[in-house]
Amino acid sequence: MKTILETKELSFSFPSKKEVLREISISVGEGELVLLCGENGSGKSLLLRALKGLLSPIKGTISIEGRDLSRQIKERNRAIGLVFQDAETQMVGQSVERDLRFGLENLKIELNEQNRRVEEVAQLLNLSHLLKERPRSLSGGEQRRVAIGGVLIMEPKILLLDEPFANLDWEGIKQVLASLASLKESGVTIVVATHEIEKIFSLSDSLILLERGEVVAQGSPLALLEVVERYGVRRPTLEEIASWSN
């Protein structure tokens, strides 16, 4: 499988503090769904922000499709889309359609191309019937899908999601899971940071386990299931995993 995202010895620290990400070396294959897990404070969100370009690592490299983009923040920003935990922070339009078009309009994308992307993303994420609705009137799961759509419409090579199931009810979680399944089927490369691993486990191709800002394991999700509790992540039963895959 072709590697689309790779980091080598990536480290980050806040001013006057010790390193909070230490020599992170990971590899993500094109079209994979990667599960990034670890207890609260392990560095999951910080890593996503460093990959996106919102934080500046003090050392190490970030490569996309074999190109070192460590210092090419604008290019990396275009290649990587990040959906934050709080979906409302990414809502800017007065309707779902205006929200989806926002980034395209800022880039002065031609109208026919805007229409094509809006239609494609709306169908992929089951948003077509919500295009005229106000984003803030939607349910939590619907808002999360709109936030994903707003990022996906910019056509990033890699989609990062930070705790996509946070504060959602059962129906909202199932909506987001269905969207992620559709995205994976369409070939999108996805990295999901969550401690609720039972929900996304069956869709995952690879698992990366963090502890105190360090990668302690990366490999097959099933092979690593037995060790996650050592690092503060609740180990779900196979029955729990199966219940979320239906």
- Whether residue 145 lies inside any domain: the answer is no
Distance (Å) of CA 105 to CA 124, 150, 188: 21, 12, 23
Mention every residue, 6+ apart, whose C-beta is less than 8 A from residue 142: 127, 130, 172, 175
pTM of the shown model: 0.93
Compute φ and ψ for 32, nearest 5 degrees.
Answer: -80, 155
Q: Domain containing 56: what range? A: 3-85+157-245
CA angle 5, 26, 230 (to 5 degrees): 145
- Whether residue 135 lies inside any domain: the answer is no
pLDDT one-digit tens code per residue, 150-164? 999 999 999 999 999
CA–CA gap between residue 68 and residue 183 (Å, rounded): 26
pLDDT one-digit tens code per residue, 30-89? 999 999 999 988 999 999 999 999 999 999 999 999 999 999 999 999 999 999 988 777
pLDDT one-digit tens code per residue, 109-143? 999 999 999 999 999 999 999 999 998 899 989 99
- Whether residue 144 lies inside any domain: the answer is no
- Whether residue 168 lies inside any domain: the answer is yes
The tally of domains found in the chain comes to 1
For residue 106, the tally of other CB atoms under 10 A from its CB is: 9
* 246, pLDDT greater than 90: no
- Whether residue 146 lies inside any domain: the answer is no
Distance (Å) of CA 88 to CA 40, 83, 106, 160, 163: 22, 11, 20, 17, 14
Query: Residue 91 has what pLDDT?
Result: 78
Helix (H, G, I), strand (E, B) or coil at 82: strand
CA angle 134, 156, 122 (to 5 degrees): 35
Residue 89: DSSP 8-state: G
Q: Which helix (H) or strand (E) holds 114?
A: helix 111-124
- Whether residue 20 lies inside any domain: the answer is yes
**CATH code for position 66:** 3.40.50.300
